[in-house]
Structure 1
Amino acid sequence: MIKKYIIERRSWIILFLFLQLLVVLVAYLDAAIPLLPLLYIVFLSTMIFLIFFIIRYHVETKYYRSLQEWDTSLDLTRLAPADRPFEKIIESSVIDQTERLKQDAAQNMRLLEQEKDDLLSWIHEVKTPLTAMHLMIERLDDEKMKAHLTYEWLRIHLLLDQQLHQKRLPFMKNDLFIEKVSLKSVIFKEIKALQSWCIQKGIGFDVELKEEEVLTDAKWLAFIIRQLLTNAVKYSEESDIIITSTKWNGQTVLKVQDFGRGIDPRDLPRIFDKGFTSTSKHQDSAATGMGLYLAKKAAEPLLISIQVCSKTGEGSTFTLSFPERNDFDHIAGM
């Protein structure tokens, strides 16, 4: 390594030696200048330079020696010939490491894809016994037991549904089919799925749809509405949930209003954050902090805007604003 270091610094080494020889030459040619004192000064300068050179060599090459200790694959003598500067050696090392990192990243991506596929397959497999369990629950004669089992079954079903859609979200744009969707059919299907839970809690629905069709993807719209209704039912007691649709500024607007515990004003800016539950009810173990986050994420590719208005102790109103046909030009080429 000392050879490479000398070669790299050869320009200013030559300059120093040239200046020392110039001083000696001038003293030799000019009789008025004493030669021996200048030779002494040149000797001292050379010694100081050699000491400085040795110190700088150890300081400047410390990092390169440590690279060899960290990773044996970074063989600097193998990566560059002796006449190449240290900068080129490190550049080659960085390129080599970059290629290795790219390969590791590709491998990790394949593993993540495999993990996602395995999880989706597992979720679909679990749905089969869940469906059979639901049919068995429906056959029970004990209405109280039936209601409790249906509620617990519904909780499992909704959690699996969230997990399934969470894994599908990164590939959502490949799965979109934009069409005219009947709000009535989607909403009533989701209400029916929550029927047993709502009966148990004494919750009813007041649905008034002045605008019955929107342009969106039916499957993902159902998922968004499912999260809003689940949230409304979870945090309400013995009250009606009001669902209305109207036309506002050329857009179809759907509102889901509940009269539950509401949302603390300091929590409103964060309710769509992943994993956020509540600051006032932080001990609530039933909350996962994923429903509204997933609803917001699913709404973005559909160009659906979600706003919320809430008062603590009075309830919350979630508003979905749907796009018009022209808004989907850059997505569906419509």
Structure 2
Amino acid sequence: MPCPTSIVDTDEKWITFVVDQLVSNAIKYTRVSRPASAAAVAEAATTATTATTTATAAAAASSSHPGSAGNERRILILIDQLPTDSHGQADIAQPALTLTVRDHGIGIPVQDLPRIFNPFFTGENGRVAPESTGMGLFLARKICAALRHTITAQSQPGQGASMTITFSTASITHGVDAATLR
């Protein structure tokens, strides 16, 4: 029996920009040390980070890729859908669909968290990374607002950060037969 799923109808190019921004920030602030060269950056991104993707869109599925020995840092991308009732049917009373990118990196200082979506704000940790412009999260929030989605942040300094996109309920179609999407 096919599993019903939900589809978000949104602008692919712009939501990809937002997700790319969140993932690149998670990688940047999860690195244990700053690599000295582009080759070292590529190496760090592929071996020093454990990426775990958990998707509960049709059926719960996850995959894990081990990182380098002794490195317990990881980035999680969580796609959370509607809770289901006792019959496994989507509970349409709560039509939320979220995508969360969570890292276990350096986190965001408490005093910086309220300002991370402001233009040109780099914060304490951003000033350490020369490539930080303070525009990435600002643009991500602007794009989400234009698409009628929201983006929020939570963080524990030294323990990582979570960035969550909550998709507009108007953009979600529930109960789609997953087999028709292939």
> TM-score, normalized by length of structure 2?
0.59
Is the Cα contact below 8 Å between 2:153 and 2:163 reproduced in 1?
yes
Is the Cα contact below 8 Å between 1:257 and 1:316 reproduced in 2?
yes
Seen in structure 2, the aligned counterparts of structure 1 residues 321 and 262 have a Cα distance that, compared at 3 Å, is same
- 1:33-66 CA-partner distances (Å, limit 9, x unpaired): xxxxxxxxxxxxxxxxxxxxxxxxxxxxxxxxxx
Which residues of structure 1 form unaligned runs of 5+?
A: 1-209, 328-334
Which residues of structure 2 form unaligned runs of 5+?
A: 32-47, 49-72, 83-93, 173-182
Q: Which residue of 1 aligns with 2:109?
A: 264
2: distance between equivalents of 1:213 and 1:326?
A: 8
Offset of 1:301 from its aligned partner?
Answer: 1.1
Q: Which residue of 2 aligns with 1:155?
A: none
Q: Which residue of 1 aligns with 2:155?
A: 310
Amino acid at match of 1:243: I
Tell me, what secondary structure is at the counterpart of 1:219? helix
Q: Which residue of 2 aligns with 1:219?
A: 13
Higher relative contact order (CA 8 A, sep 6+): 2
2: distance between equivalents of 1:235 and 1:297?
A: 22
Seen in structure 2, the aligned counterparts of structure 1 residues 228 and 280 have a Cα distance that, compared at 3 Å, is closer
- 1:219-260 CA-partner distances (Å, limit 9, x unpaired): 111011011011111111233211111125311111111111
2: distance between equivalents of 1:319 and 1:211?
A: 20
* Higher strand proportion (structure 1 or 2): 2
Tell me, what secondary structure is at the counterpart of 2:9? strand
Seen in structure 2, the aligned counterparts of structure 1 residues 211 and 263 have a Cα distance that, compared at 3 Å, is farther
Seen in structure 2, the aligned counterparts of structure 1 residues 220 and 281 have a Cα distance that, compared at 3 Å, is closer
Q: Which residue of 2 aligns with 1:250?
A: 95
* Higher helix proportion (structure 1 or 2): 1
Q: Which residue of 1 aligns with 2:75?
A: 241
Q: Which residue of 2 aligns with 1:322?
A: 167
1: distance between equivalents of 2:133 and 2:123?
A: 10
Is the Cα contact below 8 Å between 1:215 and 1:324 reproduced in 2?
no
- Correspondent of 2:121 among 268, 272, 276: 276
- Give the count of matched residue pairs: 118
Q: Which residue of 2 aligns with 1:229?
A: 23
2: distance between equivalents of 1:247 and 1:234?
A: 28
**Based on CA coordinates, which of the two structures has the bigger radius of gyration?**
1
2: distance between equivalents of 1:234 and 1:260?
A: 9
Q: Pairwise CA RMSD of aligned residues?
A: 2.2
2: distance between equivalents of 1:257 and 1:319?
A: 8
